[in-house]
């Protein structure tokens, strides 16, 4: 029998304390195992044991977390993906999605070569094309539109990705202003709400917190490394967790579940502030030193008492009062969790403001176990880009400083954009739509409207790895390589222990897929032949990905080849420093330099400077539809993955037992779900884990794409049901403002 | 599974082993004697307080061990309990318990499955197994399956190949939440031994007499049959595409 | 749904092996008891000829359903012979192999149309018959032991199953002999032949009545045990009780059609001779239908038992 010791331990085994009564470890992350925040070790990368097996480090892409991975490859075949134990954020763990990356690479349904539509849009009839023809085809269509309507007639949409910059840049060099990115599909409201209050979105020291308040933010199913990890560590150390959510998620199950009436979250936060102020529980010193607007806040929340909030939210007044007391007692080691996806309601921005305000009132910031700024990222270099065109038209939809003063204009407001174009109110026609790494037909609510928007387009081109719903409606699909087959720009996330990670090919590109930069360069060359662009596109992209990465690493003490071998480079450790904001040494990034209860940015732009509660509307006989996800699916991107699909072949709709009983609906029965926007058929899951006035569907099913053979025909699409609504300030789409009727088939 | 082992090939040795193992299992009276002293007995501890049911371990196992779809070596069950709003959801990771009194071993007619001397892992020799499925019937934990590709009995073997390389089993390494702990139960200084010693732990189906080496902290042992008795809603989801809970 | 690891091939094997084992046991017992002027030599002959075939066929089915065989390892099953241990399947393998050899040889001694007591094979026959009785019983019993060895399968996990299988094996062996005998028999002018035929018929029918009575008693005890106990067995047996998934199959095909009705008919047929010392007369249709029903019932018994064991499981976790 072989002696297996290789010198490379998979993880450091440290003494583990009992679950209860554990005293807090000293120093951020020092006594925790590798899995915790800041615990990246300098251990050597795992080495191959078997002859013929290569061990290649890289960065996962099955979701945005981009955990560190180590890939085991034999004879050019990827056999296994392990987590990278040296990664300071993920610490060697890797979720089900990351493990299923093998099947993203080997998904029989993945796009293998450029495909040009032959039948009608969405019919699913394709013919294979060579890359040369594909580039010609795409360039023909794009150039035609540019010549006839100008470059601004192109809608250029993409979601966050390491290489996304290349796609966005191409759009900029072509000269369109009409970008539609991830922000208003997801977290724009949170960003703006926190930006206006705290000056940004802080990190959360969940591992050391004594009290954690989470609204939604289902971290134990919707992973956000390291928060999912540190939350469990904090719980293991005895932190009190309160989860406010109309349904009991796994996160709620690990703490106290407050089944709040949907869209009344602000009532709870306002009432909490009311109690903290009324009972003098707030952090007086901190409020005096580091905040502005307290007198106005105090006056404002005077009427938002717990009894009132109890009527609005359904949470007993006594609970609200005791929450305030517990939070105050635990302060500053309290995390009022900012959350991430803020695509719930039309007032999310203001609601997120109240979370920031609560943070400030408690002084639950800039301290151990609290919210903290200061996790920076390693600074990367950049190549010398050519100068972008100066004269670019303004956005077609007027999504600008004037109309949406606080929104992220560069990213576009998706709902506003779609509404504008559908109502014919655009400043000029938009005739072409290029999509990269985005699935707007699934991602946007009210999909019938997205379909209508597609009808307006003379050309739809999609760059993707699989036949998503959006790709299925395209005129041409250009296959990108998966993350396992390409070298990407460097991953340099904010983290307590700063580091950079490589993403590199672990196997050769499968079939005829190409990395994005190569696709961009191919398009650029063909476009240059057809149209004179202010900056020749080929000139703008006159570099290889290797040169790009070299430029990023230029100022760092590591070069590309070493990084490809090691996978990760850790910056020298920095000790966590608390108190600099509290002592006034550092200022918050707000106009006043302090935490703003009264948001000057809001006031200046005509928005209510203090959040005003609006009672939600109700529709008797109907339920409010909410959405979310399980731990093994990412949005609409991997339901077709055979290993993940085996866990949950289809989604269902969660219905409270009393509601099901009244309608005569049995568990597992297929029901009709009807809203003002559409209707779907889906199986019922009768469960007490949700309020009577709410129903829940996991996102990502009901795909129209028959190219996804594992998942086609399964489940129902929530986006078909959702009525088009958006946050009034940021235009963040509001997915939870739809009421549905559940009917027997 | 390709197994490196100190176990010799002689039929006679297997006969005697089979005799001893089968004899022990066939005794009508539980002797209560401790399992034979082994150098090492690998075991696992599942801290269900930390488990969030994300299925990472199940998929990691499938990937590492080429487990065909429709079967599992390792899976995580979900138990929903309660009535609104007093509901809980708990998770129960399950796998072969590497029993010290393995009933699968005592029924094997060819000696293909046996408990390794050096570390107590119960393994299947893929070259000897004929695929009679007796062991699959005999396992009280539904941990075995017939692998349609290899034609032989298959189950968790604590990633013996990874262990031989000094790596952790695939399920252990991949868990973000350190809900799974692995180590030598016979080493009192190991993390797993200390945790078992200092926490109330349970095993599955203790009454089966199998002496499992997989332990649980705060496991939810209830199933749907209990709902009738306690007038509560209980739902068990196995996340096994072809099997209900057993 | 539960995976059925053992399906029709195993069910068929259990039935066929039981039938063959029963046939050998009956044949050997009858031969040894018969003496030089065996009235029942025909019975012994039919039993001997019947015995090896279903057993060999059943074993063929077993090899066929092996996982290794199904993926193309045609001879992997020979690994069974590299080992003997206390696994009921290992013991069974050796028993069956021995059985097939012995019963084939035994059958060979009866092969000739002129086979008769006292012929040249007579000595060999009797020697083998001594072996045949325990061998047949062994094969009949071990299948029940094999199923009964697993606490993980509470429906199977009692010694009563082995008893039931033994009785059913002999009963189906008897029925097979009866059926074959009836089919092959042509009304003979020779009164002696007819008398022997009726005597054999009586012996077999009366034995079968007794066996079925014992089977019913065993089933009664099995159900009583399940009713009076708690936990796994109680829950498992509910699958053949009112409302259970296999209840109708069990009570109609196994109990009514396979046991009660044949027993009542057989009782009706033997009472004149048994109690009143009148002649034993059987209409030919009964001679065919009754053993056929017993055989169907025997098959369905194996079917219900094999399925029931796999769709039930220990209750707690």
How far does CA C142 lie from the centroid of its chain? 12
Say what the pLDDT of residue A8 is: 34
Alpha helix (H) residue ranges in C39-150: 41-50, 52-65, 67-70, 88-109, 122-148
Classified by CATH at the fold level, domain C8-311 comes out as Formate dehydrogenase/DMSO reductase fold (1.20.1630)
- Peptide bond preceding A446: is omega within 30 degrees of 0, i.e. cis? no
What's chain B's average pLDDT?
A: 88
CB contact under 8 A, C150 and B103: yes
Inter-chain Cβ pairs, chain B and chain C, closer than 8 A: 147
Share of chain A above pLDDT 70, in %: 94
Instruction: Write the residue in C72, C146, C315 that is nearest to B225 by C-beta.
Output: C315
Domains of chain A (ranges plus CATH)?
1-106+484-512+556-574 (2.20.25.90), 115-186+392-483+513-555 (3.40.50.740), 188-374 (3.40.228.10), 623-744 (2.40.40.20)
Q: Supply φ then ψ for residue C100, to 5 degrees.
A: -60, -45
Mutating which of A248, A667, A691 best tests the B interface, going by the most B Cβ atoms within 10 A? A248
What's chain A's average pLDDT?
A: 93
Pairing state between β B74-83 and B86-95: antiparallel
Q: 41-80 in A: which are within 8 Å (CB) of B?
A: 46, 49-50, 79-80
CB contact under 8 A, A656 and B64: no
Structure tokens given for A336: 């009022």
Q: Are A435 and A463 in contact (CB under 8 A)?
A: yes
| Tens of pLDDT, residues A109-127 | 999 999 999 999 999 999 9
Contacts of C3 in chain B (CB under 8 A): 145, 242-243
Instruction: Write the residue in A79, A93, A98 that is nearest to B175 by C-beta.
Output: A93
What is the least distance, in Å, from the CA of B166 to any CA of chain C?
32
The CA distance from B45 to B178, in Å, is: 10
DSSP B148-187: TTT-SEE---TTHHHHHTTPPPHHHHH-TT--EEEEETT-
What is the least distance, in Å, from the CA of B225 to any CA of chain A?
17
Pairing state between β B42-47 and B180-184: antiparallel
**Total number of domains constituting chain B:** 1
How far does CA B206 lie from the centroid of its chain? 13
Residue C236 pLDDT > 50: yes
Q: 251-280 in A: which are within 8 Å (CB) of B?
A: 253-254, 257, 259
Q: Which of C169, C164, C171, C162 is nearest to C143 (CA)?
A: C162
What is the least distance, in Å, from the CA of B14 to any CA of chain A?
19
Say what the pLDDT of residue A44 is: 66
Contacts of B90 in chain A (CB under 8 A): 253
Sheet containing B180-184: which strands, arranged edge to edge?
A: B180-184, B42-47, B214-217, B201-202
Mutating which of C68, C229, C306, C309 best tests the B interface, going by the most B Cβ atoms within 10 A? C68
The CA distance from A257 to A259, in Å, is: 6
Q: Does B131 fall in a domain? A: no
> Which of the four pLDDT bands, split at 50, 70 and 90, describes residue B229?
low
Q: Where are the domains of chain C?
A: 8-311
The CA distance from C55 to C139, in Å, is: 10
| Tens of pLDDT, residues A452-475 | 999 999 999 999 999 999 999 999
What is the least distance, in Å, from the CA of B29 to any CA of chain A?
36
Tell me which of B49-58, B85-94, C270-279 is least confident.
Answer: C270-279
Q: Does B233 fall in a domain? A: yes
Q: In chain C, which residue's Cα lies nearest the Cα of B13?
A: C83
CB contact under 8 A, C69 and B151: yes
> Which of the four pLDDT bands, split at 50, 70 and 90, describes residue A25?
very low
What domain range includes position B193? 42-98+157-237
Say what the pLDDT of residue A724 is: 98
Instruction: Write the residue in B62, B174, B217 that is nearest to A93 by C-beta.
Output: B174
Instruction: Write the residue in B118, B173, B191 that is nearest to A16 by C-beta.
Output: B191
Contacts of C73 in chain B (CB under 8 A): 130, 151
Buried b (16+ CB within 10 A) or exposed e, A147-158: eebbbbbbbbbb
Q: Which of B98, B89, B79, B117 is nearest to B182 (CA)?
A: B98
Q: Residue B67 belongs to a domain with what CATH number?
A: 3.30.70.20
CB contact under 8 A, B50 and A236: yes
Q: Are A173 and A531 in contact (CB under 8 A)?
A: no
Question: CA C67, C69, C74 angle in degrees (round to 5)?
Answer: 155
Alpha helix (H) residue ranges in A214-347: 227-236, 250-253, 265-278, 284-290, 294-301, 306-313, 317-330
Share of chain A above pLDDT 90, in %: 91
Q: What is the DSSP letter of A413?
A: -
* B28 touches A: beta carbon within 8 Å: no
Q: Neighbouring chains of C at 3+ CB pairs within 8 Å?
A: B
Q: Is the whole model's pTM more than 0.90, yes or no?
A: yes
Say what the pLDDT of residue A14 is: 30
Q: Does B68 fall in a domain? A: yes
> Which of the four pLDDT bands, split at 50, 70 and 90, describes residue A504?
very high
Say what the pLDDT of residue B38 is: 65
Structure tokens given for A20: 């209860």
Mean pLDDT of all residues in A65-94: 97
Residue A69 pLDDT > 80: yes
CB contact under 8 A, B208 and C152: yes
Furthest-apart CA pair in chain A: how many Å?
A: 76
> Which of the four pLDDT bands, split at 50, 70 and 90, describes residue B230?
low
CB contact under 8 A, A248 and B87: yes
Residue B31 pLDDT > 80: no
Say what the pLDDT of residue A674 is: 98
Structure tokens given for A504: 């590199």
The CA distance from A651 to A697, in Å, is: 7
| Tens of pLDDT, residues B146-185 | 999 999 999 999 999 999 999 999 999 999 999 999 999 9
Structure tokens given for A176: 């369109």
* B40 touches A: beta carbon within 8 Å: no
CB contact under 8 A, A5 and B4: no
| Tens of pLDDT, residues A560-570 | 999 999 999 99
Contacts of B191 in chain A (CB under 8 A): 13, 15-16
| Tens of pLDDT, residues C100-155 | 999 999 999 999 988 888 888 889 999 999 999 999 999 999 999 999 999 999 99
Mean pLDDT of all residues in A584-603: 94
Q: Are A309 and A317 in contact (CB under 8 A)?
A: yes
For residue C221, count CB atoms less than 10 angstroms from its CB and return exposed for 0-12, middle for 13-18, buried for 19 or more: middle
| Tens of pLDDT, residues A217-244 | 999 999 999 999 999 999 999 999 999 9
The CA distance from A286 to A155, in Å, is: 47
**Which residue shows structure tokens 């590497």?**
B98
The CA distance from B41 to B120, in Å, is: 5
Mean pLDDT of all residues in A405-417: 96
Whole-complex ipTM? 0.93
Contacts of A62 in chain B (CB under 8 A): none
CB contact under 8 A, B164 and A2: yes
| Tens of pLDDT, residues A267-294 | 999 999 999 999 999 999 999 999 999 9
Tell me the helix, strand and coil percentages in chain B, rounded to 5. Answer: 25, 20, 55
Mean pLDDT of all residues in A60-88: 97
Structure tokens given for B98: 């590497």
Residue A9 pLDDT > 70: no
Q: Supply φ then ψ for residue A61, to 5 degrees.
A: -140, 25
| Tens of pLDDT, residues A149-163 | 999 999 999 999 999
Instruction: Write the residue in B118, B170, B178 that is nearest to A35 by C-beta.
Output: B178
């Amino acid at each position: 029998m072989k002696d297996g010791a290789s010198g490379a331990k998979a993880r450091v085994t440290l003494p583990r304390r009992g679950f209860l009564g554990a005293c807090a470890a000293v120093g951020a992350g020092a006594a925790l195992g590798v899995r915790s925040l800041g615990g990246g070790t300098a251990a050597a990368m795992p080495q191959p044991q078997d002859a013929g097996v290569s061990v290649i480090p890289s960065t996962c892409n099955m979701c945005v977390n981009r955990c560190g991975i180590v890939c085991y490859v034999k004879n050019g075949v990827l056999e296994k993906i392990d987590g990278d134990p040296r990664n300071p954020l993920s610490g060697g763990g890797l979720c089900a999605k990351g493990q299923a990356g093998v099947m993203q690479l080997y998904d029989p349904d993945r796009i293998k070569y450029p495909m040009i539509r032959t039948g009608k849009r969405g019919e699913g009839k394709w013919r294979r094309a060579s890359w040369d023809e594909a580039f010609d085809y795409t360039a023909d269509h794009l150039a035609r539109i540019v010549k006839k309507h100008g470059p601004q007639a192109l809608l250029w949409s993409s979601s966050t990705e390491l290489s996304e910059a290349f796609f966005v840049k191409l759009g900029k060099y072509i000269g369109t202003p009409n970008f539609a990115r991830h922000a208003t599909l997801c977290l724009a409201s949170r960003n703006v709400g926190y930006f206006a209050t705290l000056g940004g979105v802080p990190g959360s020291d969940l591992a050391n917190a004594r009290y954690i308040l989470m609204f939604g933010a289902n971290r134990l199913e919707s992973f956000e490394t390291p928060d999912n990890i540190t939350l469990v560590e904090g719980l293991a150390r005895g932190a009190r967790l309160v989860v406010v959510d109309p349904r009991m998620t796994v996160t709620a199950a690990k703490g106290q579940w407050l089944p709040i009436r949907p869209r009344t979250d602000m009532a709870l936060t306002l009432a909490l502030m009311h109690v903290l102020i009324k009972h003098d529980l707030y952090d007086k010193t901190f409020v005096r030193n580091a905040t502005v607007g307290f007198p106005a806040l105090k006056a404002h929340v005077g009427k938002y008492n717990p009894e009132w909030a109890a009527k609005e939210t359904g949470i007993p007044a006594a609970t609200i009062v005791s929450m305030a007391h517990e939070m105050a007692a635990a302060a500053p080691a309290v995390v009022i969790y900012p959350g991430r996806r803020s695509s719930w309601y039309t007032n999310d921005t203001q609601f997120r403001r109240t979370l920031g305000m609560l943070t400030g009132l408690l002084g639950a910031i800039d301290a151990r176990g609290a919210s903290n700024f200061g996790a920076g990222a390693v600074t990367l270099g950049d190549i010398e880009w050519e100068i972008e065109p100066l004269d670019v038209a303004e956005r077609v939809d007027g999504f600008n400083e004037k109309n949406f003063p606080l929104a992220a204009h560069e990213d576009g407001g998706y709902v506003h954009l779609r509404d504008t174009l559908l109502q014919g109110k655009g400043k000029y026609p938009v005739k072409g739509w290029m999509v990269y790494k985005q699935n707007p037909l699934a991602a946007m609510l009210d999909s019938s409207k997205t379909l209508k928007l597609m009808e307006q387009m003379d050309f739809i081109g999609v760059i993707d790895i699989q036949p998503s719903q959006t790709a299925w409606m395209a005129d041409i699909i250009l296959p990108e390589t998966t993350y396992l087959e390409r070298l990407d720009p460097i991953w340099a996330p904010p983290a307590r222990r700063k580091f950079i990670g490589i993403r590199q090919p672990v196997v050769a590109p499968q079939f005829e897929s190409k990395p994005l930069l190569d696709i961009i360069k191919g398009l650029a060359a063909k476009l240059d032949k057809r149209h004179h662009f202010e900056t020749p596109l080929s000139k703008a992209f006159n570099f290889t990905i290797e040169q790009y990465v070299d430029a990023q690493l230029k100022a760092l003490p590591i070069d590309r080849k070493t990084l490809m071998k090691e996978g990760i480079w850790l910056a020298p450790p920095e000790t966590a420093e608390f108190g600099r904001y509290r002592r006034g040494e550092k200022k918050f990034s707000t106009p006043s330099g302090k935490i703003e209860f009264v948001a000057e940015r809001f006031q200046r732009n005509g928005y209510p400077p203090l959040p005003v509660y609006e009672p939600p509307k109700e529709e008797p006989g109907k339920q409010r539809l909410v959405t979310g996800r399980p731990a093994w699916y990412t949005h609409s991107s991997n339901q077709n993955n055979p290993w993940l699909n085996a866990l949950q072949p289809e989604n269902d709709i969660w219905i409270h037992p009393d509601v099901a009983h009244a309608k005569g609906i049995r568990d597992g029965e297929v029901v009709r779900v009807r809203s003002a926007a559409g209707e779907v058929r889906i199986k019922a899951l009768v469960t007490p884990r949700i309020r009577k006035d709410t129903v829940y569907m996991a996102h990502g099913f009901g795909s129209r794409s028959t190219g996804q053979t594992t998942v086609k025909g399964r489940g129902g699409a929530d986006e078909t049901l959702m009525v088009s609504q958006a946050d009034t300030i940021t235009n963040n789409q509001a997915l939870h403002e739809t009421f549905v009727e559940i009917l027997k088939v | 599974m390709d197994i490196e082992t100190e176990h010799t090939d002689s039929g006679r040795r297997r006969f005697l082993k089979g005799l001893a193992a089968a004899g022990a299992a066939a005794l009508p009276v539980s002797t209560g004697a401790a399992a034979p002293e082994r150098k090492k007995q690998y075991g696992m501890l599942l801290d269900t307080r930390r488990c969030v049911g994300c299925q990472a371990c199940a998929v990691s196992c499938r990937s590492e061990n080429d487990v065909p779809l429709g079967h599992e070596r390792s899976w995580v069950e979900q138990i929903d309990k309660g009535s609104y709003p007093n509901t809980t959801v708990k998770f129960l990771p399950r796998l072969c318990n590497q029993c010290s009194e393995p009933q699968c071993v005592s029924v094997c007619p060819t000696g293909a499955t046996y408990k390794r001397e050096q570390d107590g892992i119960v393994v299947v020799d893929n070259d000897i197994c004929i695929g009679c499925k007796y062991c699959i019937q005999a396992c009280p934990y539904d941990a075995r399956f017939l692998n349609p590709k290899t034609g032989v009995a298959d189950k968790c073997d604590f990633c013996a190949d990874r262990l031989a390389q000094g790596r952790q089993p695939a399920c252990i390494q991949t868990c973000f939440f350190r809900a799974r702990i692995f180590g030598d139960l016979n080493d009192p200084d190991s993390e797993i031994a200390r945790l078992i010693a200092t926490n109330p732990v349970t095993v599955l189906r203790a009454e089966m007499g199998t002496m499992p080496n997989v332990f649980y902290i705060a496991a939810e042992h209830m199933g749907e049959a209990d709902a009738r008795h306690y007038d509560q809603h209980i739902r068990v989801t196995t996340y096994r595409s072809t099997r209900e809970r057993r | 749904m539960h995976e059925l690891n053992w399906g029709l091939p195993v069910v068929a094997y259990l039935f066929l092996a039981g039938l063959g084992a029963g046939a050998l046991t009956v044949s050997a017992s009858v031969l040894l008891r018969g003496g030089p002027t065996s009235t029942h030599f025909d019975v012994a002959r039919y039993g001997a000829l019947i015995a090896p075939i279903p057993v060999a066929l059943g074993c063929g089915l077993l090899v066929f359903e092996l996982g290794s065989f199904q993926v193309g390892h045609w001879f992997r099953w020979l690994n069974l012979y590299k080992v003997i241990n206390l696994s009921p399947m290992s013991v069974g393998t050796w028993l069956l192999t021995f059985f097939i050899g012995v019963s084939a040889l035994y059958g060979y001694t009866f092969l000739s149309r002129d086979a008769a007591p006292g012929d040249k094979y007579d000595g060999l026959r009797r020697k083998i018959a001594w072996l045949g009785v325990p061998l047949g019983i062994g094969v009949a019993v071990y299948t029940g032991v094999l199923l009964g060895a697993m606490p993980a399968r509470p429906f199977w996990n009692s010694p009563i199953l082995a008893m039931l299988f033994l009785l059913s094996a002999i009963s189906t062996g008897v029925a097979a002999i009866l059926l074959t005998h009836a089919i092959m028999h042509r009304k003979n002018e020779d009164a002696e032949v007819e008398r022997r035929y009726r005597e054999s018929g009586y012996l077999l029918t009366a034995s079968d009545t007794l066996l079925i009575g014992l089977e019913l008693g065993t089933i009664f005890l099995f159900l009583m045990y399940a009713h009076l106990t708690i936990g796994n067995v109680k829950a498992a047996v509910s699958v053949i009780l009112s409302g259970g998934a296999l209840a109708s199959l069990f009570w109609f095909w196994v109990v009514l059609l396979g046991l009660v009705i044949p027993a009542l008919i057989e009782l009706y047929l033997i009472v004149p001779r048994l109690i009143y010392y009148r002649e034993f007369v059987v209409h030919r249709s009964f001679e065919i239908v009754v053993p056929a029903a017993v055989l169907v019932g025997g098959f369905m018994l194996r079917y219900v038992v094999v399925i029931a064991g796999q769709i039930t499981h220990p209750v707690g976790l």
